[in-house]
Amino acid sequence: MSFTVIWKPEAEDGLASIWMKALDRKAITAAAHKIDQTLRLEPETCGESRPNGRRILIVVPLGVVYKVEPLDRMVNVLKVWEIETH
């Protein structure tokens, strides 16, 4: 059974800002799509755990902080950042 992935407004705004500034927008779009797919299918086992029930996931060139709500089958993406690849 899959999870519903919700990007909080701050994370959506951050992703939009990263995308607007990106030289390779296709890479940003592909990474965001892969993050969505991964979190939809295996949010409790992908990435690394952090305090307060949060986790991080890296899909270059993006990183996200997210929180899983297992009883509701939801994942909230709280923050996104760009990872420098050069």
CB of 6 closer than 8 Å to CB of 74: yes
Mean pLDDT along residues 32-53: 97
According to the model, what pLDDT value does residue 86 have? 66
Domains of the chain as residue ranges with CATH: 4-82 (3.30.2310.20)
Structural tokens at position 48: 């690394």
Band of residue 68 on the pLDDT scale cut at 50, 70, 90 = very high
pTM as predicted: 0.94
Mean pLDDT along residues 36-40: 98
User: What mean pLDDT is reported for the chain?
Assistant: 96
Q: Please tell me the distance from the alpha carbon of residue 48 to that of residue 37, in angstroms, as a whole number.
A: 17
